[in-house]
Structure 1
Amino acid sequence: MKKLVIIALALFALQATAQERKRTHQNKERGQKMMNLSAEEMATLQTKKMTLYLDLNESQQAKIQKLNLENATKRKAMMEARKAKKERGNAEKPSKEERLAMVNAKLDHQIATKAKMKTILNDEQYAKWEKLEARRSQKNKGRNKDQRNKRQN
């Protein structure tokens, strides 16, 4: 009986680690696919998804397309800089001051985006968008926590 319990636990542990590796591989593939898209393509896809979710009208779509294009261009430039830094081999961890500056810049950008969205969307759409952003934020927090745990192990 004792041997059966040990075998069952071993199989369970093996299954859990196999699934974890599969998820990590899928996330890397998804990231590579996004890297292959241009900023315009990323912005168009995001705008269409938002149009479906928030039921945007034509003028809202145009304004959000412009906002998404700005964000995608900025994101693409940051991805390219990170990739170039990694390829050069000097991908050091940022200092405390640099990390603080990056976090402040990110939060300032989020505040500005939120203000722009509030002017573009009506109250109902804005509430729905905020709920979506909160869900996305929670999902990313969990993903980041998982990645930190993997690095520590």
Structure 2
Amino acid sequence: MKKVIMAALLVVSLSSVAQQKRERPNRDEMEKMTPEQRQEKHLNKLTTDLNLNAKQQEEVKKLLAEQSAKAADFKAKREAKKDEQLQASAKERKEMAKKMKAEKEATDAKMKSILTPEQYTKWENDKDIRKEKMLEKREERKRNKGDKGDY
């Protein structure tokens, strides 16, 4: 009987440890990477997923560098507002959303010109899947946030 109880406790403890590690497996790894390393990793993934040729790789690499620079600029502006403890007005938020949407559309157009129609379709599908996963994780975090105070 003792052996059965000990085995059950062992299984429960191992499963809880395994679940904790699955939450954010690459978070620390990604934070330690430089922007150039993240771009290279993203390029390698796109190369394998979409079977990019050398010319496409170079063009996508340039596009990823542009995106990274714009993202860093956006982040710097946002941090400056935080440091000044200012809140963006509704008008500023709408304006920023418009800029971000325009950037996204421009990036999509550039990718469409770089990729073949088949590659572009696959890239769009992969992007939609990532977006769905992101939304699911966001919802899960919201649910978990609400559960923490209910002890």
What CA RMSD, in Å, does the superposition of the two structures yield over aligned residues?
3.1
Structure 1 equivalent of residue 94 of structure 2: 100
2:88 match: secondary structure: coil
Alpha-carbon distance in 2 for matches of 1:62, 1:107? 25
- Alignment equivalent of 2:111, drawn from 109, 114, 117: 117
Residues 35 and 93 (structure 1 numbering): CA distance in 2 closer, same or farther, change over 3 Å? farther
| Aligned pairs for 1:71-150 within 5 A | 71-83=67-79, 86=82, 88=83, 90=85, 93-149=87-143
CA offset digits 1:10-42 (Å, max 9, x no partner): xxxxx99xx5x7666x27x71x54344332222
The structure number with the bigger radius of gyration is 2
Unaligned runs of 5+ in 1: 1-14
Residues 130 and 48 (structure 1 numbering): CA distance in 2 closer, same or farther, change over 3 Å? same
Residues 76 and 38 (structure 1 numbering): CA distance in 2 closer, same or farther, change over 3 Å? farther
Q: Identical aligned pairs, as a percentage?
A: 31
TM-score (norm 2): 0.69
CA offset digits 1:63-102 (Å, max 9, x no partner): 000001111222233344545655x372x55322122122
Unaligned runs of 5+ in 2: 1-14
Alpha-carbon distance in 2 for matches of 1:139, 1:62? 29
Give the AA of the match of 2:101.
Answer: L
TM-score (norm 1): 0.68
